[in-house]
Amino acid sequence: MLIVAALGGNALLRRGEPLTAENQRANVKRAAAALAELIKAGHSLVITHGNGPQVGLLALETAGPDGAGLPLDVLGAETEGMIGYMIEQELAGTMKGRRFGTLLTLVKVNANDPAFQKPTKFIGPVYPAEIARKLATERGWKIAPDGERWRRVVASPVPQAIMEADVISLLVREGVTVICTGGGGIPVVDLPDGGLTGIEAVIDKDAASALLAEQLDADMLLLLTDVDAVYADFGKPSAHPLANIDPSAVNEEQFPAGSMRPKIAAAARFSRDGERHAAIGRLEDATAIVAGAKGTAFSVEPR
């Protein structure tokens, strides 16, 4: 089975952990162990991942005294290469003799997407309100509340095409486990002369992963995070895990707007025709989720 496995931010950084190389390597090692079990079970994998904390930190580090720094598309390419390298290194060490490859991935978006007028995608660390407002003034950022603190927000346009999908498909047919579309991919738009150019944005990782799975004609979209399932009434005493969600009937607006809603939207989109499967669950449970024993499956027929 061809599976597009999307690693949530927890694959590189657990909640509350400092963004250090040691922490990232430790968490990538844990992610690689779970992914290796899927490969050992005979599945072909294409791996995607988030990059929010990493790209936000790089944006801070590269900004000069006037607040100007490298554009987000360039920072996205840097973090995609860095994180892909770490995942590839750990997998290669775990599964000697297998072939792995990291591919920088361009993702086309519409330059007139309404998202550019209303940034919503969080990147970088959280700040107290006063510091966030100061940084916004100094660097021309847009900021928004994230819980009790504030973070930078950037445009998150809808992905329209994974430009390297044919190359990824070729590598998969040759038995290569591909790490790609990191952080939602590098956002690019059409030029009048028919070329492409990068644009300041961060594409939602889950939406890009679902589109990639569609273009590859994958059998399954597996969204891996740090919770065991999707919960109804999340945060309330009545909260309970959902073993199955009907993708043709789900209302994504009923779920928290943070990390879970885009995952549910992506899973529902990919599995809505009833021919393809999607699931959401905890990274450590990846093999059991694929087997239908854990996590939340997206299927018209309840499991």
Report pLDDT digits (tens) over 26-60: 889 999 999 999 999 999 999 999 887 788 777 77
* pLDDT tens string 71-94: 889 989 999 999 999 999 999 988
pLDDT above 60 (res 183): yes
- Rounded to an integer, the average pLDDT of 260-278 is 91
Q: Which of 27, 183, 263, 281 is catalytic?
A: 263
Whole-angstrom distance, CA of residue 271 vs CA of residue 266: 9
Q: Catalytic residue among 121, 183, 184, 185, which?
A: 121
CA dist 202 → 38, 154, 159, 199 (Å): 29, 7, 10, 9
Instruction: Please give the model's pTM, rounded to 2 decimal places.
Output: 0.90
pLDDT confidence of residue 121: 85
Contact yes or no for 12/28 (Cβ under 8 A): yes
Concerning whether 294 is annotated as a catalytic residue, the answer is no
Identify the CA nearest to 113 among candidates 156, 72, 157: 157
Query: What b/e sequence results for 128-158 when a residue is b if at least 16 CB atoms lie within 10 Å of its CB, and e otherwise?
Result: eeeebeebbeebebebeebeeebbbbbbbbe
From 10, 182, 183, 281, the catalytic residue:
10
Respond yes or no: is residue 205 known to be catalytic: yes
CA separation (Å) from 137 to 86, 111, 293?
35, 25, 50
**What average pLDDT score do residues 137-153 get?**
88
d(CA 241, CA 232): 6
Cβ(223)–Cβ(279) below 8 Å: yes
User: Of 122, 209, 200, which is closest to residue 159 (Cα–Cα)?
Assistant: 209
Q: Which one is predicted more confidently, 66 or 297?
A: 297
Catalytic residue among 50, 184, 205, 295: 205
Q: When comparing pLDDT for 259 and 205, which is higher? A: 205
Quick check: is 10 catalytic? Answer: yes
Q: Is 236 a catalytic residue?
A: no
Active site (annotated) includes residue 121: yes
H or E, element range at 3 = strand 2-7
Q: Which has the closest alpha carbon to 10: 287, 235, 227?
A: 227
